[in-house]
Chain A
Amino acid sequence: MHVATLVLLKTKIRVVAYSLIVLVALSWLSLIALGLIDSILWLYEGVLGVGEGLVISARGFSPLTTLIHRSEVEARISNISGITVEYYLATPVLYGDRVLVLRSTSSSTISGDCVLVGGKLARELGVRAGEGVLVSSLFTSEVYYVKVCGYTSGYVLEAPYDLVARIRGVGRGYYSYAVVKGPSSALSRVMEALGVKPEEYKLTGLVVTVLSRISSNETRAVVYSAITEAYIANFGLQRDYILYFACGVAVASVVGSIVLGLDNAGRFKNTLRVFRELGASRRSITTSIILLGFTTAILACAISLIIYNYVRVVNLEIMGYVLEPRAPSILVLLVFTALTTLYTTGLTIGVWSEVE
Chain B
Amino acid sequence: MLKVLIEASKTLILSAIRKKLYNTILVAVLAPVLLAVVLFTIPDPSSLNYAYIDNGKPVFLVSSSVVSGDCYPATAVEGFVGNGSSGLSAIVLVVKAEAPRVLSSTGLSKQYNYSSGVVLPLDLYNDLGKPSSVVVSINGRTRNYTVVSSWGSNIVLLLDSELSGLFGEYACLTPRGDLFRGFLRSIERDLLSVSLQWMILLILAYSVIIYTAHRRVAESMRLDVRILVESGLSNRAAKASTAIALIILHALITLYISALGVVLVYTAWSLLGYILPLPPPTLRTSTLWILLLEVLLGVAVAYPASRSVVD
* Contact surface of B with A, Cβ cutoff 8 Å: 24, 27-28, 30-31, 34-35, 38-39, 57-65, 67, 76, 91, 93, 106, 151-155, 157, 171, 174, 176, 179, 182-183, 186-187, 190-191, 194, 197-198, 201-202, 205-206, 208-209, 212-213, 215-216, 219, 275-278
Contacts and interface: CB of A to CB of B under 8 A. Distances in A.
Interface stretch (A141-149, A173-181, A193-201, A204-212): A141-149
B216 A263 contact: yes
Nearest to B212: A263
Contact of A263 (B76, B182, B206, B215): B215
A239 B60 CA distance: 36
A141 B64 contact: no
Nearest to A139: B59
A249 B187 contact: no
Given A236-B278, A249-B38, A259-B24, A143 B194 contact: no
A316 interface: yes
Contacts of B186: 99, 319
Given A144-B153, A144-B154, A259 B190 contact: no
Contact of A96 (B62, B206, B278): B62
Given A134-B62, A314-B194, A237 B276 contact: yes
A29 B93 contact: no
A4 interface: no
B190 to A, nearest CB: 5
Given A255-B31, A256-B31, A141 B106 contact: yes
14 contacts: A36-B198, A97-B182, A113-B154, A132-B76, A138-B176, A140-B152, A143-B153, A145-B91, A236-B278, A256-B205, A259-B209, A259-B213, A316-B191, A317-B194
Interface in A243-273: 249, 252-260, 262-263, 266
B123 to A, nearest CB: 10
Given A260-B209, A317-B194, A29 B276 contact: no
A113 to B, nearest CB: 6
A99 B174 CA distance: 14
Contacts of A32: 198, 201
Given A29-B202, A256-B206, A96 B67 contact: yes
Instruction: Give the size category of A's interface with B.
Output: 35 or more
A256 B179 contact: no
Interface in A78-120: 94, 96-97, 99, 113
Contacts of A2: none
Contacts of A203: none
A29 B204 CA distance: 11
A42 to B, nearest CB: 15
Given A25-B205, A29-B198, A29-B201, A97 B61 contact: yes
